[in-house]
């Protein structure tokens, strides 16, 4: 059972989401994610679905228990977290997955609309906010992204339906 509801905004612990419609995840998807942080690894199943103008993310643990759900609507994230969840900040995890799942051709436009800077050095793409790295991805390890401020690395394995 998910019990707490928190409305998170641009002043929260992670940078903002883009409010532009073109920046919404395009397709429903399911992925197996492994979150590595604090010398631990946590496997989760992450389901993403679009419903009209909002995107819903649901994370389940390995036995199918809901760990958190998040609804993204007009750049605002509403988060419901299970009291038993003991992982990386779910807002940061969803935020990072959101950027990982965006088509490469829209990332720059979406970053600018969210007040972030997208930089590319070699093959590594970094999102920065106020000069600090907040998200990092490389096509050399395309199924993975880093959240430097949270000290996390997330590996993603998309699942086919």
Q: H or E element: which one contains 16?
A: none
Full residue range of the structural domain in which residue 83 is found: 4-159
Going from the C-alpha of 142 to that of each of 17, 72, 90, 145, 146, the distances in angstroms are 21, 24, 21, 8, 11
Between 161 and 122, residue with greater pLDDT: 122
Residues 79-118 have pLDDT tens digits of 999 999 999 999 999 999 999 999 888 999 999 999 999 9
CATH classification of the domain holding 117: 2.50.20
Domains in the chain, number: 1
pTM for this model (two decimals): 0.88
Mean pLDDT computed over 61-72 = 96
pLDDT (tens digit, 9 = 90+) per residue, 39-66?
999 999 999 999 888 999 999 999 999 9
Tally of CB atoms within 10 A around 52: 6
């Amino acid at each position: 059972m998910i019990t707490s509801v928190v409305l998170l905004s641009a002043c929260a612990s992670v940078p903002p989401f883009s409010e532009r419609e073109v920046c919404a995840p395009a397709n429903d998807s399911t992925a197996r994610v492994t979150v590595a942080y604090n010398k631990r690894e946590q496997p989760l199943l992450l389901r993403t679905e679009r419903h009209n103008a909002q995107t819903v993310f649901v994370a389940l643990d390995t036995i199918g228990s809901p760990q958190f759900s998040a609804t993204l609507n007009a750049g605002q994230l509403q988060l419901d977290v299970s009291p038993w969840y003991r992982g990386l900040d779910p807002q940061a995890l969803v935020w990072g997955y959101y950027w990982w799942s965006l088509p490469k051709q829209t990332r720059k436009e979406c970053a600018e609309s969210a007040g972030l800077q997208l930089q590319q050095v070699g093959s590594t793409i970094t999102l920065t906010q106020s000069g600090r790295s907040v998200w990092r991805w490389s096509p050399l390890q395309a199924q993975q992204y880093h959240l430097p401020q949270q000290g996390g690395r997330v590996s993603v394995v998309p699942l086919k339906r």
